[in-house]
């Protein structure tokens, strides 16, 4: 069991359609994307390859591509095509604002995925 | 197990073996004789080897390992010479290097190694050899035929030391040879004995149009010229002498005067031979244990030289010999040809001229654009057709012809697009035996079986299993229709031919769809052409293309752009950006430099660097500082980030330089102002240099302009000095700046409309061929230059400086950096 934090990332409209923005949450950079279907996805901002800012990447409904060297990650699972992966975070929308649950560890398929967090 | 000996390892021999293996891999022990020392290759693509757009490895159909994997013993480089029918043995001789595989004589019979194989069955697939008319001098060094990979190598090597080449024979192969030779920097003359080019496929009017088109591309054409002899100069080819007494100087000769079946082995083995080896409908020769297939065959008094009928013969033969269908019968073929001659599309089927008074003849002419369409109709069915210069609807036409389907009452529907764009021909309505892929001879039933039984649901998957659609690709639409009618939906695999991986269309098809459907945004492309599914790797390429197609009306969706083009700066490894102001022609002023310097200090720029394009790069700028620094600098964007026109470098030209021949600064500034920010398939760098000393490095730019003596300018295209170094090709020499701009307009716009995404001009120029480009862009052989200039002008007028977004951001938080956020509350996380 672990502590987790609920964070208000502000209005959905503050992110341009189909693009991402970088938020700093408890010293961790999180890339938050507003998908074209109206949904939201949040993943760790730093590409594990060379720390490229994933929030500046191009997305579709499933993937983001790192702007520096083209590494591709699944927005839902964080899985990268080259085997590396990034952490993903739960998000939801309440009264037009994007909320996110941030925890030092995330659970994927019942396993703890530590990612590159500081804890 | 019975033993099968296949004589001949060309396309027909290998194909029949594949067909047999597909029916029953255990039926025979298979041995093959092949006179060429290779596996089997696609002879249709030989001209690509000659013009070096493909490597030999790319045209091999079955590599040597394929023979091993299928337990086939291949005697490569061994020519079968006799069948001992009494003792049921085939004898072959190993050829030495001096022997032509298709030659009639073997050089070293005395010392040659003899190889014998006994057999139960033999298949003769000996093919044909080039016909060399018996004129004097045909054996001189510098005389070539055009039939094998080795011939291509020989021609290419010899052409290096030649200025002029002559091709004897103006048929399909002769023109292919001419196309290949053009890429070797020789002046090519095609010599045809008959009154017109491509007599088998064209009537005299279309022959004339093709001739003019070819001449526009720089090929000389002589018709009605009967060669008397090849003349000698210094022990090798020096020229041609014609029967009318005229002469032509040439350094080399390629003879392409038709082909003749290779039948010697059948003759010495006492098998019936007429013009070819005579076969019945089961592809049996006069000996029931010996079959034949391919160009060596004479069937119902006809010989075939195209792949489709030969594939059909191979299927019948395989059905019969494996006893899967002993009654299978080959009943002859209706053949059509579809090809590109030096970039000109040509489709021909059936007769070229009517021969009965009631035959209907429909002709459409647009000679200025090199387009000619002719349809011959008898009994409501196609008797023959010619499409030259525009083969867009040839698929449909070919299906009507081959399946002898009744034509619609309004004949123009099969020659032109119907207004509603409806599909005239439903693939589902075709008979099972209808050939869908004419390149690889795949019939409808094979494709439907593959979809229904093997679960192939994409055009590429069908291609992987059946080879359908893997030739020219024009049948891919029909394959997709078959998939759709069988399983409801077509799946698409990324294919290298697509403009972008997520939209299953080649660039020209995609542009057509975008224009026809008036698609103006990237999301609309996905909605209309991809069933609503976005594709991350396709967005940037689509955005660039849409901007090219609709310079003014394009609906910009910023999420489809790369970050550099969202914020008009180049992202660096640490997430900061570089800022490069426009400095036209590399000429700046003290005032501009002061503003740049002050801005660099104010925004704490980490490095100030002169670029290779004669500009100043300010590195390490934060995203949130971009609007501020642009405003302080007060100069438009230098576009050092987009796949677009970048800079036009110049030398000091005539103002100060004592060598200068032309005003390079003034011209380079005009060029840079005209094309600034112009989206292209890849970046485009230019230069204008004031004399051939080339201080501005114009010879190695995508477009380079060089001033020469006599107040003239040379225009070079396709140069590069990055990871690839290439000197540009001289496109033309002109008298003034206006003409320079005119030809740069045409070249750039053609590149924008026809290059693949991320294809630099050096690759594009090599792929299309500089001579073909000259034909299109200077001679206006396609009649499109006026449109190219018009569309370029429209793109120029649509340009806006993106740094104006400093005052009015294009979207919310465009220039915001990372934002710090606070925790609302803490919770227990149970996973």
Nearest alpha-carbon partner for B44 in B150, B146, B136: B146
State the Cα angle at B49 between B46 and B50, rounded to 5°.
90
B43 vs B462, residue with greater confidence? B462
Q: What share of chain B is helix, strand, coil (3-state, %, to 5)?
A: 30, 25, 40
B439 and B428 Cβ atoms separated by less than 8 Å: no
Provide the pairing of β-strand B819-820 with A20-25: parallel
Specify the pLDDT at position B111. Answer: 67
Contact A67 B562 (CB under 8 A): yes
H helices of B568-653, in order, are 590-602, 626-633
A chain contacts of residue B827, beta-carbon cutoff 8 Å: 3-6, 101
C-alpha B186/C-alpha B165 separation (Å) is 6
| CB-based contact, B531 to chain A, within 8 Å | no
The model's confidence at residue B10, banded by pLDDT at 50, 70 and 90, is confident
Residue B15, helix vs strand vs coil: helix
pLDDT tens column, B402-429:
888 888 888 877 777 543 334 456 677 7
Whether residue B106 has pLDDT greater than 80? no
pLDDT tens column, B284-305:
999 999 999 999 999 998 888 8
Specify the pLDDT at position B52. Answer: 73
| CATH T-level assignment (fold) for domain A5-103 | Rieske Iron-sulfur Protein (2.102.10)
The model's confidence at residue B483, banded by pLDDT at 50, 70 and 90, is confident
State the Cα angle at B282 between B276 and B287, rounded to 5°.
65
A chain contacts of residue B571, beta-carbon cutoff 8 Å: 56, 67-68
Whether residue B494 has pLDDT greater than 60? no
B342 and B177 Cβ atoms separated by less than 8 Å: no
Give the mean pLDDT of B339-356: 82
The model's confidence at residue B478, banded by pLDDT at 50, 70 and 90, is confident
C-alpha B53/C-alpha B182 separation (Å) is 12
Nearest alpha-carbon partner for B265 in B243, B287, B236, B237: B287
Specify the pLDDT at position B794. Answer: 93
CATH of B2-129+260-321, one of 1.10.260.40, 3.40.50.2300, 3.50.50.60, 3.40.50.20: 3.50.50.60
pLDDT tens column, A9-47:
999 999 999 999 999 998 899 999 999 999 999 999 999
Whether residue B799 has pLDDT greater than 50? yes
The upper half-sphere exposure of residue B616, i.e. CA atoms within 13 Å in the direction of its Cβ, equals 20
* Sheet of strand B227-233, all strands in order from the earlier edge strand to the far edge: B227-233, B236-242, B247-249
pLDDT tens column, A91-102:
999 999 999 998
The model's confidence at residue B39, banded by pLDDT at 50, 70 and 90, is low
Q: In CATH, what number does B644-800 get?
A: 3.30.413.10
pLDDT tens column, B543-594:
999 999 999 899 999 999 999 999 999 999 999 999 999 999 999 999 999 9
Contact B575 A62 (CB under 8 A): no
A89 and A95 Cβ atoms separated by less than 8 Å: no
B chain contacts of residue A61, beta-carbon cutoff 8 Å: 533-534
Spatial CB neighbours of B696, under 8 Å, sequence gap ≥ 6: B649, B650, B651, B664, B668, B687, B688, B689, B690
C-alpha A45/C-alpha B246 separation (Å) is 78
Give the mean pLDDT of B313-329: 93
Distance of CA B436 to the CA centre of its chain: 21
Tokens of B724: 């690839």
Specify the pLDDT at position B369. Answer: 79
C-alpha A27/C-alpha B688 separation (Å) is 52
Distance of CA B813 to the CA centre of its chain: 45
Whether residue A119 has pLDDT greater than 50? no
Distance of CA B117 to the CA centre of its chain: 42
B398 and B386 Cβ atoms separated by less than 8 Å: no
Tokens of A58: 């191009």
φ, ψ dihedrals at A109, nearest 5°: 50, 40
Q: How far is CA B312 from CA B15, B259, B330, B675, B743, in A?
A: 10, 21, 7, 54, 49
Contact A8 B824 (CB under 8 A): yes
B170 and B208 Cβ atoms separated by less than 8 Å: no
Mean residue pLDDT of chain B comes to 88
| CATH T-level assignment (fold) for domain B143-257 | FAD/NAD(P)-binding domain (3.50.50)
C-alpha B351/C-alpha B381 separation (Å) is 12
Whether residue B628 has pLDDT greater than 70? yes
| CB-based contact, B815 to chain A, within 8 Å | no
Specify the pLDDT at position A118. Answer: 35
C-alpha B199/C-alpha B337 separation (Å) is 13
Q: Where in chain B is the domain with CATH 3.50.50.60?
A: 2-129+260-321, 143-257
Specify the pLDDT at position B21. Answer: 93
Contact A101 B820 (CB under 8 A): no
Q: Which candidate in B569, B829, B830 is best for mutational testing of the A interface (most A CBs within 10 A)?
A: B829
Spatial CB neighbours of B120, under 8 Å, sequence gap ≥ 6: B2, B3, B4, B28, B88, B289
Say which of A17, A22, A103 has its CB closest to residue B818.
A22
What was the ipTM of the complex prediction?
0.90
Specify the pLDDT at position B419. Answer: 39
Q: How far is CA B774 from CA B341, B523, B770, in A?
A: 16, 37, 6
Specify the pLDDT at position B105. Answer: 63
DSSP A80: B
C-alpha B80/C-alpha B8 separation (Å) is 8
Q: Is the dihedral of CA B564, B567, B568, B570 positive or negative?
A: negative
Tokens of B713: 């300018």
B84 vs B105, residue with greater confidence? B84
How many helices (H) and strands (E) in chain A? 0, 11
pLDDT tens column, B250-264:
999 999 988 889 999
pLDDT tens column, B196-211:
999 888 999 999 888 9
* Sheet of strand B616-621, all strands in order from the earlier edge strand to the far edge: B570-571, B577-579, B616-621, B607-610
Say which of B535, B558, B825 has its CB closest to residue A60.
B535
Nearest alpha-carbon partner for B178 in B215, B207, B148, B209: B215
Contact B823 A26 (CB under 8 A): yes
Distance of CA B195 to the CA centre of its chain: 30
The model's confidence at residue B455, banded by pLDDT at 50, 70 and 90, is confident
Q: Nearest CA to CA, how far is A104 from chain B (Å)? A: 10
**Looking at beta carbons, which pairs linking A48-51 to residues 24 or more positions away fall under 8 Å?**
A48/A80, A48/A84, A48/A85, A48/A86, A48/A116, A49/A82, A49/A84, A50/B573
| Least confidently predicted of A35-44, B54-63, B149-158, B379-388 | B54-63
DSSP B786: H
Residue ranges of A 12-41 with Cβ closer than 8 A to chain B: 13-19, 21-26, 29, 36
Residue A53, Ramachandran bin (φ over 0: left; ψ between -120 and 50: alpha; else beta): beta
Ordered by start, the domain boundaries in chain A are 5-103
Residue B230, helix vs strand vs coil: strand
| CB-based contact, A101 to chain B, within 8 Å | yes
Residues in chain B: 831
Spatial CB neighbours of A4, under 8 Å, sequence gap ≥ 6: A101, A102, A103, B826, B827, B828, B829
Q: How far is CA A65 from CA B430, B525, B557, in A?
A: 44, 20, 17
- Percentage of chain B beyond pLDDT 70 is 94
Contact A58 B536 (CB under 8 A): yes
> Closest-CA residue in chain B for A53?
B575
| Least confidently predicted of B2-16, B104-118, B328-342, B685-699 | B104-118
Spatial CB neighbours of B327, under 8 Å, sequence gap ≥ 6: none
Whether residue B738 has pLDDT greater than 80? yes
Specify the pLDDT at position B624. Answer: 95
Whether residue B818 has pLDDT greater than 70? yes
| CB-based contact, B530 to chain A, within 8 Å | no
Residue A87, helix vs strand vs coil: coil
């Amino acid at each position: 069991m672990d502590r987790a934090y609920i964070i208000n990332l502000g209005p959905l409209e503050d992110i341009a359609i189909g693009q991402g923005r970088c938020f700093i949450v408890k010293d961790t950079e999180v890339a938050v994307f507003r998908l074209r279907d109206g949904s939201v996805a949040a993943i760790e901002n730093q590409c594990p390859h060379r720390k490229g800012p994933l929030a500046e990447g191009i997305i579709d409904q499933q993937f983001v591509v790192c702007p520096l060297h083209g590494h591709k990650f699944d927005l839902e699972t964080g899985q990268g095509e080259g085997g590396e992966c990034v952490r993903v975070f739960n998000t939801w929308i309440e009264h037009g604002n994007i909320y996110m649950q941030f925890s030092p560890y995330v659970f994927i398929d019942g396993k703890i995925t530590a990612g590159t967090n500081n804890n | 197990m019975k033993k099968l000996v296949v004589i001949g390892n060309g396309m027909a021999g290998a194909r029949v073996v594949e067909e047999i293996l597909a029916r029953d891999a255990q039926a025979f022990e298979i041995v093959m004789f092949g006179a060429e020392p290779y596996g089997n290759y696609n002879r249709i693509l030989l001209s690509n080897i000659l013009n070096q757009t493909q490597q030999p490895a790319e045209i091999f159909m079955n590599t040597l390992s394929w023979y091993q994997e299928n337990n086939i013993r291949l005697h490569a480089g061994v020519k079968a010479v006799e069948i001992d029918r009494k003792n049921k043995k085939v004898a072959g001789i190993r050829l030495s290097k001096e022997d032509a595989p298709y030659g009639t004589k073997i050089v070293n019979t005395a010392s040659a190694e003899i190889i014998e194989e006994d057999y139960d069955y033999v298949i003769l697939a000996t093919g044909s050899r080039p016909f060399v008319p018996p004129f004097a001098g045909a054996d001189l060094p510098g005389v070539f035929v055009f039939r094998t990979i080795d011939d291509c190598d020989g021609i290419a090597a010899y052409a290096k030391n030649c200025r002029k080449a002559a091709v004897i024979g103006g048929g399909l192969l002769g023109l292919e040879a001419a196309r290949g030779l053009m890429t070797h920097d020789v002046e090519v003359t095609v010599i045809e004995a008959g009154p017109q080019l491509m007599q088998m496929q064209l009537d005299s009017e279309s022959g004339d149009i093709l001739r003019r088109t070819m001449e526009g591309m720089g090929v000389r054409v002589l018709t009605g010229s009967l060669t008397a002899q090849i003349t000698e100069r210094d022990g090798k080819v020096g020229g041609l002498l014609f029967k009318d007494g005229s002469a032509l100087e040439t350094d080399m000769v390629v003879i392409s005067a038709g082909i003749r079946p290779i039948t010697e082995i059948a003759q010495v083995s006492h098998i019936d031979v007429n013009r070819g080896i005579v076969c019945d409908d089961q592809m049996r020769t006069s000996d029931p244990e010996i079959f034949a297939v391919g160009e060596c065959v004479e069937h119902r008094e006809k010989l075939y030289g195209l792949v489709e009928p030969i594939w059909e013969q191979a299927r019948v033969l395989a059905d019969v010999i494996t006893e899967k269908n002993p009654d299978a019968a080959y009943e002859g073929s209706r053949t059509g040809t579809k090809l590109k001659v030096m970039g000109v599309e040509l489709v021909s089927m059936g007769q070229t001229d009517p021969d009965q008074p009631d035959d209907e003849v429909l002709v459409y002419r647009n000679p200025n654009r090199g387009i000619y369409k002719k349809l011959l109709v008898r009994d409501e069915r196609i008797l023959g057709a010619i499409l030259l210069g525009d083969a867009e609807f040839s698929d449909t036409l070919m299906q009507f012809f081959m399946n002898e389907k009744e034509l619609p009452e309004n004949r123009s529907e099969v020659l032109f697009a119907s207004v509603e764009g409806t599909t005239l021909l439903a693939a589902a309505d075709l008979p099972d035996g209808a050939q869908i892929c004419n390149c690889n001879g795949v019939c409808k039933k094979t494709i439907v079986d593959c979809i229904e039984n093997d679960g192939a649901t994409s055009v590429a998957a069908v291609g992987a299993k059946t080879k359908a659609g893997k030739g020219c690709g024009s049948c891919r639409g029909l394959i997709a229709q078959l998939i759709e009618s069988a399983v409801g939906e077509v799946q698409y695999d990324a294919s290298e031919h697509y403009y972008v991986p997520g939209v299953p269309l080649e660039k020209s098809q995609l542009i057509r769809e975008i224009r026809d459907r008036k698609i103006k945004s990237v999301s609309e492309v996905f909605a209309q052409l991809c069933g609503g599914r976005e594709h991350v790797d396709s967005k940037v390429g689509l955005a660039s293309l849409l901007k090219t197609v609709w310079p003014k009306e394009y609906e910009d969706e910023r999420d489809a752009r790369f970050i550099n083009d969202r914020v008009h700066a180049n992202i660096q490894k640490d997430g900061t950006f570089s800022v490069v102001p426009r400095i036209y022609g590399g000429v700046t002023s003290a005032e501009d430099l002061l503003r740049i310097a002050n801005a660099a200090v104010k925004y704490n720029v980490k490095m100030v660097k002169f670029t290779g394009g004669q500009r100043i790069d300010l590195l390490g700028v934060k995203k949130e500082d971009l609007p501020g620094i642009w405003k302080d600098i007060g100069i438009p964007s230098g576009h050092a980030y987009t796949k677009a026109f970048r800079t036009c470098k110049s030398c000091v030209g005539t103002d100060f330089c004592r060598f200068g021949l032309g005003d390079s600064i003034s011209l380079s500034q005009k060029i840079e102002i005209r094309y600034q920010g112009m989206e292209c398939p890849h970046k485009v760098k230019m230069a204008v240099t004031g004399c051939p000393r080339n201080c501005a490095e114009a010879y190695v730019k995508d477009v380079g302009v060089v001033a020469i003596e006599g107040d003239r300018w040379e225009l070079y295209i396709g140069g590069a000095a990055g990871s690839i170094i290439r000197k540009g090709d001289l496109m033309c020499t002109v008298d003034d700046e206006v003409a320079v701009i005119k030809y740069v307009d045409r070249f750039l716009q053609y590149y924008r409309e026809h290059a693949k995404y991320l294809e630099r001009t050096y690759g594009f120029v090599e792929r299309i061929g500089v001579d073909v480009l000259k034909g299109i862009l200077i001679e206006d052989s396609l009649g499109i230059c006026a449109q190219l200039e018009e569309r370029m002008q429209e793109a120029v007028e649509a340009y806006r400086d993106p740094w104006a977004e400093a005052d009015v951001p294009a979207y919310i938080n465009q220039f915001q950096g990372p934002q710090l956020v606070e925790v609302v509350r803490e919770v227990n996380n149970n996973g």
